[in-house]
Structure formats: C-alpha cells, structure tokens
Amino acid sequence: MSTSNPPGVEGHLEEVSRGGNSAEWLPYSQVKQYTNTFIFRDHEILLGLKKRGFGTGKYNGFGGKVEPGESSLQAATRELEEEAGIRAALELAGVFFFVSDKEDKAFHIDIYRGENFTGLITETDEMRPQWFSFREAHIQTPEQLPPIPFHQMWETDPYWIPLLVNRQPFAGRADFRTQGGKLLPSKWWFGTVLP
C-alpha cells in the first residue's frame, strides 16, 4: 500500500507504521540538518550513551548538526570520529524528520550505517560507546551482549531501528509534544522506500 507522505518527508514510500493522535501535523518554519550514525558488526550494533546536551541519558547513534559548508556525509563522518573515535565508510540508510511543539524548527536527521571501522572505539565527553545485540532469540548468558535498550532510547526508535537493522531504506516523521516536562511523540508515520 502506498500512501501520501507527511509534510517534510520525501520519496516514494510504502507505509509500515503509523500512530498517535489525529491532529494535523505540526507546522514548522525552518529545517535544521542533523546526522545520526550506527556501526554494525555481525549481529551487533554500536550505540552511545549520551552524556551531555540534547538526549542526555539516552542511547543513540553518533551524530549532530551539519555545519555550514559541510555535506551531510562529511558531517556524519566527522561526528562519528569526534564522538566515538572511529572512521568508517558510511551509507545513507534512512531519514527521520521530527517537529516538536517547543519550537518552530524541524529536525531532518540523515541516518547512516557503517561497518568495517578503523580506529579504537573511545569514550568521549559526549558519548559512552557500547555494543548491543540485535539477535531475535536472545538468550542471556554472561558472555552475551545485552539486547538493544529501547527503554532507554527515544520513544520513536522502535519504529525505524528494525528497518535500519534489516537494511530496508526508510523515511518517517514524528511530532513530539511536551507532556509532564518530557518530550513525547504524539503522532508518527514511517515508510520504506519503494524501488
């Protein structure tokens, strides 16, 4: 089934999930470009525990703002090295677009994936890197890695991380509203890219 994309989301997409309230999508007047990069090896994904700034205390990929004069890929490569101490050939895996009721600025986040990194994974003042397992049948033994900690990640991550893990190109949008001092998703839509 192909459906019309939410505002801000481009591409020929097939819906995979949607939810939340039936309100109109939130308006925005400018779009800021960000990146977010995930490194894979075997059945493992590298996440970082954010130690400061936006999303402190949550696990996420490595990324940040695209600086003036930089391409998105250059920014993703720079942020990966700044935040985790490693370099990797990156490929664009998807796009996550979100708007919040706190500001009229939308975030366009290019999501990258990479393997075969070089360098030593290093904790930085912004991120504490840690490997997690994404095996489906996860039997916990002391030698095994913990599963992806969705309970300590952004609430919309469970809608698109499986697409990232399964190499399905995707795009989606979420609107966030402040509830009890927390930024929580009020409406979302995700789709996979059709050939």
Ligand X SMILES: COc1nc(N)nc2c1ncn2[C@H]1C[C@H](O)[C@@H](COP(=O)(O)OP(=O)(O)OP(=O)(O)O)O1
Closest approach of ligand X to the CB of residue 175, in Å: 10
Q: What is the rounded (10 degree) CA torsion for 142, 146, 152, 158? A: -160
Closest approach of ligand X to the CB of residue 183, in Å: 7
Closest approach of ligand X to the CB of residue 189, in Å: 14
Q: What residues pair up with 179 in beta bridges, in sequence order?
A: 182
Toward ligand X, which CB reaches closer, 60 or 77?
60
Toward ligand X, which CB reaches closer, 53 or 68?
53
* Token pair of 9 as six digits: 């989301």
Residue 142: which residues within 8 A CB-CB, separation 6 or more? none
Other residues' Cβ atoms within 10 Å of the Cβ of residue 150: 12
* Token pair of 154 as six digits: 């952004």
Contact letters for ligand X, residues 42-81 (x by CB under 6 A) = -----------xxx----x--xxx----------------
Residue facing ligand X at closest CB distance? 64
Interatomic CA distance for residues 23 and 169, integer angstroms: 27
* Token pair of 56 as six digits: 């402190």
Toward ligand X, which CB reaches closer, 5 or 61?
61
Closest approach of ligand X to the CB of residue 141, in Å: 29
Closest approach of ligand X to the CB of residue 98, in Å: 5
* Residue choice 28, 117, 154, 170 for contact with ligand X (CB under 6 A): 154
* Residue choice 156, 164, 170, 191 for contact with ligand X (CB under 6 A): 156
* Token pair of 142 as six digits: 């002391």
**Neighbour-count burial of 58, counting CB atoms closer than 10 A to its CB (0-12 exposed, 13-18 middle, 19+ buried):** middle
Contact between 34 and ligand X (CB under 6 A)?
yes
The candidate with the shortest Cα–Cα distance to 96, out of 38, 181, 178, is: 38
Which residues contact ligand X (rule: CB under 6 A)?
A: 34, 36, 53-55, 60, 63-65, 98, 107, 109, 126, 154, 156-157
